[in-house]
Amino acid sequence: MASTTVDTVLFAPREVVYQLFSDRDALNSYLPVQISLKKPGVGSPSGVGAQYLIGLAGVGITEETTELVPGERMVYRVIKGAPVKQHVGTITFTDAPGGTRVVYTMESEPSLPIPAKALELGLKGLINTFLSGARKAVK
């Protein structure tokens, strides 16, 4: 299984940053893809069990939120649309001087033979796309 982690600071309060990631479609204006809620979660549309389509023109992958600890952590998994046996994303949020420390990890086991280093580079690119969108959103 390939794994990549990006650790950075976003210059906004933790509650704001957490909300941008846990309400997955909150970043739509800042990403090259669109995120749309397909199935609401338990207790709120973005709660545990929420399913989001991430892509363009209705084509893409489907993610499901599997864990939410308000202001601290969110975990999701890909359930459809990607050639993976398993893909899990974990994002943690802690206070940092002037903002919020975000530690974003993606772990992926492809169903196709892809070299681990190539997959890790791809995962890092995906993480950085979401972090870049969040940076733009908090400006």
Domain harbouring 92, CATH code: 3.30.530.20
Beta strands in the chain (DSSP E): 2-10, 34-39, 51-56, 59-69, 73-80, 84-96, 99-110
- For residue 55, tell me if it sits in a domain: no
Does residue 97 fall inside a structural domain?
Answer: yes
Domain membership of residue 93 (yes or no) is: yes
Residue 74: per-residue pLDDT: 98
What does the pLDDT profile of the chain (139 residues) look like in tens digits?
899 999 999 999 999 999 999 999 999 999 999 999 999 999 999 999 999 999 998 899 999 999 999 999 999 999 999 989 999 999 999 999 999 999 999 999 999 899 989 999 999 999 999 999 999 999 9
Residue 54 lies in a domain: no
When divided into structural domains, the chain yields a total of 1
pLDDT at 103: 99
Domain-located, residue 39: no
Predicted TM-score of the model (pTM): 0.95
